[in-house]
């Protein structure tokens, strides 16, 4: 009898121990679950706050960019692009004295503003093949040459391989049809150069040089080309898979001279990079074309940095030509001393002009 009672007591003790263990496991699982929910909630709240602060810091940096642009536009409106001051450090500058505090109660401001009006590289992205880009160029006196580097936006340096490009410029001085252009790295560039460094005479056509840069696929080193007497020529631009951005052309523009370049892509939109290195290939400043603006915004402990390039010339949409048409153009008649010069392609393009042409030719014949 005593043995049976001891056995029942031992069974009851074991049941209580199992209940305690099960309770502890349930409490452990619930604790882990609560901690996980709390951690997730805190992380989501922090991420939401970070996104908010990140946006505030970005807009603060943009405010710094806009303050610098306002100063630059005021100087340009006064007609002195060379007077845009540099700001090489984050300290105060009397030329850029705008209040950098955006919201003092939330600790939002832009903490650093840098302005470089003479960058060592000019950047023009997505220059359309239906338009042209006018670029003022004034290289440092120590510059040995001016290099034009370019590629098509669809070509990715370091990843894509140059293909479909010719091995030399066309010998017939004729370009292929658009449908037959297969060079993947770039199209042709038309270059117009005007040298105004020593004065400009609009009656002297020698001040303007026009030539074409034709992308050629080869591994030869890029050499410097004398463009002083190359008007109308087709010149090779070296393109290679090992080059960044893809193609390069060097020209011997005079240092410390003021030039204007009109660059017109043909066949493909182009990303352009212009540098002017010295004899040791150290990039020298280029003045009067672009300014780089670098602003850092801060919202509490979050920083955002924004960099832009601003033109240092008045924004003028220069037309590529006086008249553009897909049809024939009938030009004007010139009457002088009973002679008629018809300068259009043919009088047949306009019946009215044809009648005038025949009438005056008849009068001239009678007088003779």
Whether pLDDT at 362 is above 80: no
Whole-model pTM: value is: 0.75
**335 vs 311, higher pLDDT:** 311
In tens, the pLDDT along 167-180 reads 999 888 788 899 99
Q: What is the pLDDT of the chain when averaged over all its residues?
A: 82
pLDDT at 367: 45
Give the tens place of pLDDT for each residue, 263-320.
999 999 999 999 999 999 999 999 889 999 999 999 998 999 999 999 998 655 666 6
**How many whole angstroms separate alpha carbon 221 and alpha carbon 79?**
41
Report the distance separating Cα 71 and Cα 94, nearest Å: 11
- Residue 312 DSSP label: S
Nearest to 250 by CA among 236, 264, 261: 236
Q: Where are the alpha helices (DSSP H) in 111-231?
A: none
Cα(262)–Cα(103) distance, integer angstroms: 44
Among 83, 212, 84, 80, residue whose Cα is nearest residue 148: 212
Using CA atoms in the order 263, 268, 269, 272, what is the torsion angle rounded to 10 degrees?
-50
H helix or E strand, kind and range, residue 319 = none
Report the C-alpha gap between 25 and 22 in whole angstroms: 5
Put residue 327 in one of left, alpha, beta given phi > 0 → left and psi -120 to 50 → alpha.
Answer: beta
Q: Which of 48-52, 114-118, 192-196, 328-332 has the lowest mean pLDDT?
A: 328-332
Q: Element (H or E) spanning 195, and its range?
A: strand 188-195
CB-CB neighbours of 323 under 10 Å: 7
Structure tokens at 120: 């060592």
Residues 6+ apart with CB under 8 A from 206: none
Q: Are 163 and 155 in contact (CB under 8 A)?
A: no
**Is residue 366 over pLDDT 50?**
no
Radius of gyration of the chain (CA): 35
Q: How far is CA 326 from CA 305, 329, 348, in A?
A: 47, 9, 17
Helices (H) and strands (E) in the chain, counts: 2, 16
Residue 342, pLDDT score: 52
């Amino acid at each position: 009898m005593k043995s049976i009672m001891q056995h029942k007591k031992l069974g009851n003790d074991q049941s209580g121990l199992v209940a305690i263990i099960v309770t502890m496991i349930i409490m452990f699982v619930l604790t882990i679950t609560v901690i996980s929910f709390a951690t997730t909630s805190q992380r989501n709240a922090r991420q939401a706050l970070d996104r908010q602060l990140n946006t505030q810091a970005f807009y603060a940096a943009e405010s710094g960019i806009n303050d610098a642009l306002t100063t630059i536009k005021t100087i340009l409106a006064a007609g002195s692009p060379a007077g845009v001051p540099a700001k090489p450090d984050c300290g105060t500058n009397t030329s850029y004295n705008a209040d950098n505090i955006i919201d003092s109660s939330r600790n939002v401001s832009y903490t650093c503003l840098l302005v470089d009006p003479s960058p060592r590289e000019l950047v023009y992205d997505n220059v359309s093949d239906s338009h042209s880009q006018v670029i003022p160029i004034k290289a440092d006196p120590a510059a040995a040459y001016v290099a034009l580097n370019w590629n098509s936006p669809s070509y990715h340096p370091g990843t894509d391989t140059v293909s479909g490009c010719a091995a030399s410029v066309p010998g017939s001085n004729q370009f292929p049809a658009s449908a037959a252009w297969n060079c993947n790295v770039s199209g042709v560039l038309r270059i117009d150069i005007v040298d105004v460094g020593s004065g400009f005479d609009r009656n002297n056509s020698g001040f303007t040089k026009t030539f074409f840069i034709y992308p050629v696929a080869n591994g030869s080193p890029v050499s410097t080309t004398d463009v002083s007497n190359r008007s109308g020529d087709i010149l090779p631009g070296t393109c290679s898979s090992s080059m960044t951005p893809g193609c390069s052309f060097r020209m011997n523009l005079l240092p410390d001279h003021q030039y204007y370049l009109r660059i017109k892509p043909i066949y493909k939109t182009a990303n352009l990079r212009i540098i002017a290195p010295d004899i040791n290939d150290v990039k020298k400043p280029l003045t009067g074309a672009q300014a780089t603006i670098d602003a850092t915004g801060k919202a509490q402990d979050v920083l955002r940095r924004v960099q832009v390039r601003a033109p240092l010339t008045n924004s003028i949409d220069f037309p590529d030509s006086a008249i553009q048409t897909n049809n024939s153009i009938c030009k004007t008649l010139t009457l002088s001393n009973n002679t008629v010069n018809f300068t259009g392609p043919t009088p047949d393009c306009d019946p009215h002009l044809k009648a005038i042409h025949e009438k005056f030719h008849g009068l001239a014949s009678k007088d003779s």
